[in-house]
Amino acid sequence: MQKNKTKKIQREMGQSDMDHDPKMAAEAVKKQALALGADSVGIGNIDRWENAPTQMDPKQIMPECKSVITMAFRVMRGSMRGVEEGTYFSNYSAMGYGGITYLYMPMTVINLCKYIEDRGYEAVPMGHQSDWRSVDGWYTKYGGRLKEKFSRPVEPGRAAPDVMIHLRIAGYLCGLGEIGYSYMFLTPEFGPRNRLGVIMTDVELEPDPIYDGPQLCNQCMACANECPAGAISKNEKIQVNLAGNAVEWARIDCKLCSKTFRGYEEVDYEVPEEERYIANKNSKPGWWSPFYKKPKTVYNTGQAVCGARGCTRACMVQLEKRGVLRNQFKDEFRRRKPWKVDWETEPQYPNDVKMPDEPIMSDETMKNEPVDDID
């Protein structure tokens, strides 16, 4: 009997081409990141986090960390089209938000970690794991506050789990772009249309300079002017020092934003139960939401009904107009007057829309139709 001569195919491991030359190693890692699907990639050495608050210090996670790699993933401009037109909202939440954050980006980050670990160095993959972080999101400064009765340090000197690596600050410290006045991260390619993924590793990689390209944010205030909630302060700023650089952004009312971006307004009177947007008795749909009730989430986060009307779309429109972004388009994004829902008036549907109480089949056929949700 003939023996099967097929050889087992295995990943190459243990190559030491990262050992001696941080410049070549950085180039190889960046090339690989782009090949794996990142849209841009930058590297910062760990010294840039020297003064990081303990709860945001990469060394609390990986004491031997030498380099931080940050990758930017573009949000398709087309994912905002349906929100801009007021007709298709879930795409931004799914494909522009959750799909990138929870699916596409982790795959790239994990695959790049494999590339590094195959070469004998450890790599911590990080995306958006903020649900377990011990600091809350209502920043008074970029340090955040501990959540009450959430976690405790395992021993003195260690941070309370989970440490949160601030993704936008990582993006800045790895040279990928600027933190805009709106507190959004802006890249020279896509402006605010991006999500960030991070890797911490013990391999020494040559760092990129802090971004010093064409100025992206010029404090035009379009983000603040167009935020439906006024969550972006026009005069109160947060000023921080990041690796010796003075950086500032607006004070953001994150609590207000977190309600508004889901599409509702909190009013100071009791809303009749059938008109409430969420269970909260003071919630009603805002003029920036066409939905009677908050839509279901998609990919765990998809509730971005506001579609980042102010902070993302307004900013993107401004940056594109100024011609400072590398990703350019044949036609401008804003082609029609931005819409507003007038909840005081009766809705007007297109003539061919079948209303819920209108039969679309004969009574006999309908009896046999399943009534389950088709999605």
Write down the least CB distance from residue 338 to ligand SF4, Å.
12
Write down the least CB distance from residue 148 to ligand SF4, Å.
24
Q: Indicate the residue among 17 and 88 with the shorter CB distance to ligand SF4.
A: 88
Start-to-end CA span in the chain (Å)? 54
Q: Indicate the residue among 151 and 233 with the shorter CB distance to ligand SF4.
A: 233
Contacts 24+ apart (CB under 8 A), 22-29: 22/204, 22/205, 22/206, 23/206, 25/203, 25/204, 25/205, 25/206, 26/205, 26/206, 26/207, 26/208, 29/69, 29/112, 29/115, 29/116, 29/205
Write down the least CB distance from residue 181 to ligand SF4, Å.
4
Please report, as ranges, the residues that interact with ligand SF4 according to CB under 6 A: 180-182, 184, 217-223, 227-229, 231-232, 257, 260-261, 306, 308-311, 314-315, 318
CB 228 within 8 A of CB 287: yes
Q: Indicate the residue among 60 and 79 with the shorter CB distance to ligand SF4.
A: 79
- For residue 124, list its beta bridge partners: 200
Write down the least CB distance from residue 27 to ligand SF4, Å.
32
Round to whole Å and give the CA distance between 319 and 218: 9
Write down the least CB distance from residue 231 to ligand SF4, Å.
4
CB 199 within 8 A of CB 42: no
Write down the least CB distance from residue 179 to ligand SF4, Å.
9
Q: Indicate the residue among 104 and 264 with the shorter CB distance to ligand SF4.
A: 264
Q: Indicate the residue among 79 and 318 with the shorter CB distance to ligand SF4.
A: 318
Q: Indicate the residue among 46 and 232 with the shorter CB distance to ligand SF4.
A: 232
CA nearest to 198, candidates 220, 166, 230, 160: 166
Q: Indicate the residue among 167 and 232 with the shorter CB distance to ligand SF4.
A: 232
Nearest-Å Rg of the Cα atoms of the chain is: 24
Write down the least CB distance from residue 186 to ligand SF4, Å.
7
Round to whole Å and give the CA distance between 23 and 20: 9
CB 256 within 8 A of CB 245: no
